[in-house]
Amino acid sequence: MPNEEYNDVEGGLGIFARRVIAYVVLILLTFLCLFWFYLLFINSTRSHAELTRGFTLIPSKFLVKNINGVLHGTQPIFRGMLNSFIVATTASVLCVYFSAMTAYAIYVYDFKAKKAIFTFILAVMMIPTQVTALGFIKLITRIGMNDSFLPLIIPAIAAPATFYYMHQYMESALPHAIVEAARIDGSPEWKTFNSISLPIMKPAIAVQMIFCFVANWNNYFTPALVLHTDTKKTLPILIAQLRSADFLKFDMGQVYVSIALSIAPVIVVYLCLSRYIVGGVAVGSVKG
């Protein structure tokens, strides 16, 4: 009996110690993640002269001045935010929908070239964007799409990584029996996909909407090649132009405010869809 009680106490202390370590690690990771947001806010409240003097954790009094400088500056920051929102939202919705449709076709139907097409789509994922940039620019110039949003939206629809995630999620959460039952009941394929399959895939759709939105919102390389008019440029390009201004116009406080404004929509999208992300990642990463 004393040995059993000793073992129970020792086991309880071990569980308590592991729990304490887990909480300490989680608190440390949370601090490391949130500290940079706090630092961004602090720097947004400081003037350019204060920022050049070094690091501090105490807010200053130049936040309103920095915001006014961004609003009335040479760069149309809020127009850039609207442009980025249009591009990111449209590209994300189309990318997720058509990726889900492609994954559904390869998952549900059996045909000879099924494995070859699946392998080809994944192979495309290995090709960097920079490799095809020159040919891409020549193509959109020839067909008259230069300096418009279409070259940023249409290519984003074909996303091999999103397709692969959707396919893996279907294997985990969408049994063939459900599709067969819908066919027996006389449901058309279009209705089966939109009314039965998509609702089942809500967690995967939410997760990929977050990832696609963030990727398109932060995209700098392609918009910098395609967009030339200031009123059409996206937010990353305008922020880069603020940073590259000459020393008479350069204001680091305004740059920090612009970065803070650029993060806000991403946080809103994440908060709206975050309740799906844990379940979606867990189910989509496990093959049923």
- Same domain, residue pair 70 and 34: no
- Same domain, residue pair 27 and 86: no
Where does residue 102 rank: exposed (0-12), middle (13-18), buried (19+ CB within 10 A)?
buried
- Same domain, residue pair 20 and 137: no
Residue 59 lies in a domain: no
Residue written as token pair 């960097």: 128
User: What is the arithmetic mean of pLDDT over 73-97?
Assistant: 88
- pLDDT tens for 156-178 read 888 888 999 899 888 888 888 88
- Same domain, residue pair 35 and 132: no
User: Is 216 or 264 the better-scoring residue by pLDDT?
Assistant: 216
- Same domain, residue pair 18 and 130: no
Residue 50 lies in a domain: no
Residue 157 lies in a domain: yes
Residue 10 clears pLDDT 60, i.e. is over it: no
Domain count, the chain: 2
Residue written as token pair 């030339």: 228
- pLDDT tens for 165-214 read 899 888 888 888 888 888 888 888 888 888 888 888 888 888 888 889 98
Residue 52 lies in a domain: no
Residue 54 lies in a domain: no
* Closest C-alpha to 130, from 244, 240, 225, 233: 225
Least confident of 18-27, 84-93, 168-177, 249-258: 249-258
- Same domain, residue pair 37 and 70: no
Query: Which pLDDT score is estimated for 8?
Result: 53
For residues 176 and 196, is the Cβ–Cβ distance under 8 A?
Answer: no
Tokens representing 165 are 């995630």
Q: Which domain holds residue 9?
A: 2-44
- Same domain, residue pair 154 and 91: yes
Query: Which pLDDT score is estimated for 3?
Result: 52
